[in-house]
Amino acid sequence: MAIQERPALAERVYALIEGLHSTDTAAVGPETELASVGFDSIASAELSAAVERELGVDLVDAQLAGLRRASEVADLVERTASVERRVRETYPRGMGRMQQRSKVVTGAFCRRWFSMEVVGAEHVPPTGPAVLAMNHESFLDIPLIVIASPRPIRFMAKRELFESPRGARFFHELGGFPVDRDQHDLRAVEIALEVARRGEVLGMYPEGTRTPGVLLPFLPGAAWVALKTGASLVPAALSGTGAAMPTGAKFFKRVPIRIEFAPAIPVEREEDPLRRRERARELTEQVRAAVERMWRP
């Protein structure tokens, strides 16, 4: 579709930003501070989808983080509109292809070494999309949740794990894809949504970082993906992984580990962006409360 001229395009962008905040589409102008309308990572994902749908501009590779005013977003959309759109993979080829083999090879050892106890695995839906939301204490969380889950998992992992070619290949083939925690990483969001749309299990750590011995407030990303796709939300608690492999340790200790899954929370797709953000906050509190009940610090 043809891109609109600058003034008209900017006004459409302002209206889309305001539409994520309220129904008063006249309230956002060039000098509007994005922080004043609650512009966060979820809003970035919502805006990216709206801009592509309404204006035909793909913002997935654009950097929305760090922008302060609505005029800066409009400028970014204009610049991106002039760039030739590239075809890209929304689901990385080969992601997770070695997961099942790795699970078979290492599963028996890990279960014995850590006296690993898995409770409630039957709560993971046997079919259909699901978002597994869990606490994060250790590097061990990723391989051990793969072993504990009755279904294959595709999971977000911090970009730093993919910096070396060897690390990138290992985590990619184990089922991971990178997310930049310092940016509004729209490509990671795109992959996460595609995983759910394919009816697979998506693993996410709503704390956003490893926090041994502490359960931080949860970010709403996992709940938002569930609301966007209609995936079930499955709370899970990992206990003992922080002690088994503390931050900075080069090897793991022989510490008992318990992984518990709570009953899945059914989620219906929510089409309205405003309601979706509100419901994401509500569901996030529900998920965190379930994890806290199961977690054993």
| Digitized pLDDT (tens) for each residue of the chain, 297 residues in all | 444 444 688 999 998 998 887 655 568 889 999 988 888 889 899 999 999 999 989 888 888 888 999 999 999 999 998 876 676 778 999 999 999 999 999 999 999 999 999 999 999 999 999 999 999 999 899 999 999 999 999 999 888 889 999 989 999 999 999 998 778 889 999 999 999 999 999 999 999 888 888 999 999 999 999 999 999 999 999 999 999 998 878 889 999 999 999 999 999 999 999 899 999 999 999 999 999 999 998
Query: Are the beta carbons of 227 and 269 closer than 8 angstroms?
Result: yes
Name the pairing type of β-strands 130-134 and 201-204: parallel
Q: Domain spans of the chain?
A: 6-81, 99-294
- Give the pLDDT confidence score for residue 24 in this predicted structure: 59
- Give the pLDDT confidence score for residue 5 in this predicted structure: 43
Helix 99-113 crosses helix 165-174 at what angle (to 10 degrees)?
90
245 half-sphere exposure, CB direction, 13 A CA radius: 19
- Give the pLDDT confidence score for residue 26 in this predicted structure: 60
- Give the pLDDT confidence score for residue 172 in this predicted structure: 93
Nearest 5 degrees, angle CA 218-CA 291-CA 65? 15
> For residue 118, which of 243, 222, 239, 206 has the smallest C-alpha distance?
239
What span, in angstroms and rounded, lies between the C-alpha atoms of 187 and 238? 27
**Total residues belonging to the chain:** 297
- Give the pLDDT confidence score for residue 240 in this predicted structure: 96
Which fold is adopted by the domain 6-81? 1.10.1200
- Give the pLDDT confidence score for residue 210 in this predicted structure: 85
Tell me if the domain spanning 99-294 has CATH number 3.40.50.720. no
